[in-house]
Chains A and B, each alone.
Chain A
Amino acid sequence: MSDQAVLPTTNDLEDIAGQVWAAFLDDGHEVVPSEDQQAPFDLSASVAIMGAFEGHVIVQCTTQASRDVASVLFEMPTEEVSEAEIGDALGELANVLGGNLKSMLPGPSTMSLPRVAETTHEHWPSTVEICRTVVTWRDEQFTLLLLSSDQQHRLERDVA
């Protein structure tokens, strides 16, 4: 991969989040960058990007936040959404965010199907964080992350 590749920034992540929420989760609540950039989570949805860029796009949030997402997408009361619907909704959110981020990354590349895990501590070995943000929607926080598995990015981080 070229050393000159311009990678997405936190601002890009926030712009994409704004577009995705406005299109799919338009329930009158706006998604805004959170003042607190550390947010609790117990669910993690991710897609892997493979090709000219190697890495992961990850969405982390609480079960309650993911219930809210599923509630809007499935148009049903929050307390009635099932675990399967929560997983489906959060996975699709990661899929759409990942696809839009992928368009800003060096290509060609392919993207995996989304994976949703129940976890409070997820480890992504041999990766370096390219950008991250925490956004707030309906008083719930969502952490959005782009990680790279590229050795060059790890070297640059180590030098820095």
Chain B
Amino acid sequence: MLGVVIDDSRAMRKILRSFLADLGFEVLEAGDGQEALEVVSGADSVPELALIDWNMPVMNGLEFVLEVRKRPEWRSMTLVMVTTESEHSQIVKALASGAHEYVIKPFTKDGMIDKLALLGLVPVGVL
């Protein structure tokens, strides 16, 4: 499985990369939404999963979600917002824009696994 971690914090990318690698994902990284569009475009296959921060320079996470949803060839990509934005209106906006799930920082590893399991993205044996 291929995943992409999109966050302007290198520290957060490292945490999420390690988490996905433990689940068996091959992991790509991007520091903002624009870079993520380029990384996904250049990938050998469409990632099954994108973990997306909201507040980023250049192109934020919500704009990235909207861009992905314009491209039918990327429809299979599961989009999960991983962000400190925790206002109800923001969560609704992200989900209405095409995100599948929403995780608020700080998250625990178990909490994140539970969210991904609901999306069918956790290999048998991990739970």
**How distant is the Cα of A20 from the Cα of B86 in the complex, in angstroms?**
14
Q: Given A73-B14, A111-B85, A113-B55, A92–B106 Cβ distance below 8 Å? A: no
Q: Are B89 and A107 in contact (CB under 8 A)?
A: yes
Q: Are B106 and A23 in contact (CB under 8 A)?
A: yes
Judged by a CB distance under 8 angstroms, whether B105 is at the interface is: yes
By a CB distance below 8 angstroms, the chain A residues around B84 are: 95-96, 98-100, 102, 111
Residues of chain B at the chain A interface (Cβ within 8 Å): 8-12, 14-15, 55-57, 83-87, 89-90, 104-108
By a CB distance below 8 angstroms, the chain A residues around B85 are: 99, 111
- Chain A: CB-nearest residue to B8: A113
In this complex, the member of B8, B14, B90, B106 whose beta carbon has the largest number of chain A beta carbons within 10 angstroms is B106
Q: Are A24 and B55 in contact (CB under 8 A)?
A: no
Q: Are B12 and A19 in contact (CB under 8 A)?
A: no
Q: Are B107 and A23 in contact (CB under 8 A)?
A: yes
**How distant is the Cα of A19 from the Cα of B86 in the complex, in angstroms?**
15
Give which listed residue, B9, B14, B15, B87, contacts A103 with CB less than 8 A.
Answer: B87
Looking at the assembled complex, report how far the CB atom of B9 sits from the nearest CB atom of chain A, in whole angstroms.
4
By a CB distance below 8 angstroms, the chain B residues around A112 are: 55
By a CB distance below 8 angstroms, the chain A residues around B108 are: 23
Q: Are B87 and A24 in contact (CB under 8 A)?
A: no
Interface of B: prevailing SS? loop
Judged by a CB distance under 8 angstroms, whether A55 is at the interface is: no
Q: Are B87 and A92 in contact (CB under 8 A)?
A: no
How many residues on A have C-beta within 8 angstroms of the other chain's C-beta atoms? 28
A sample of 8 inter-chain contacts (CB < 8 A) reads A19-B106, A95-B55, A99-B83, A99-B105, A100-B84, A111-B84, A113-B55, A113-B57
Give which listed residue, A23, A89, A102, contacts B87 with CB less than 8 A.
Answer: A102
**How distant is the Cα of A23 from the Cα of B9 in the complex, in angstroms?**
16
Q: Mark A69-80, 1 if CB is under 8 A from B, else 0.
A: 010011100000
Q: Are B106 and A20 in contact (CB under 8 A)?
A: yes
By a CB distance below 8 angstroms, the chain B residues around A33 are: none
Within 8 A of B (CB), among A85-107: 85, 88-89, 91-92, 95-96, 98-100, 102-103, 107
